[in-house]
Amino acid sequence: MFATSGDILNMSLAIGFIVLVIFLSILIFYSILVMRDVSRMTQDSKELMDRIHNTIMGPLKAVDYIIEKVKPYIESTIENRFKKGKK
């Protein structure tokens, strides 16, 4: 089977290449699994951030709307009090 040292070198190179391919295949498989988990985590965190944004911004928008509607009445009340105080 092994007639010369060149045959041994070629066989060892072939075995090394096979081991390298197996190692790289396992590495790619595990990196795919890790990327899938990262994708799930980012999707979950995006959903969480959307819920937090809606929970915080919804009441703030309502308060802003109420302030805009009440602002003219408050300003007119303050002006009337200053006018009464000056008289």
Lookup result for tokens 């911004």: 57
Q: Is residue 26 within 8 Å of residue 32, measured between CB atoms?
A: no
User: Tell me, what's the pLDDT at 87?
Assistant: 60
DSSP string for 9-47:
HHHHHHHHHHHHHHHHHHHHHHHHHHHHHHHHHHHHHHH
**Per-residue DSSP letter, 4:** S
- C-alpha to C-alpha distance for 46 and 52, rounded to whole angstroms: 10
How does pLDDT run along the chain (87 residues), one tens digit per residue?
Answer: 778 888 999 999 999 999 999 999 999 999 999 999 999 999 999 999 999 988 888 888 888 899 999 988 988 988 888 887 766
User: Tell me, what's the pLDDT at 83?
Assistant: 82
Give the total residue count for the chain: 87
pTM score: 0.55
- C-alpha to C-alpha distance for 5 and 9, rounded to whole angstroms: 6
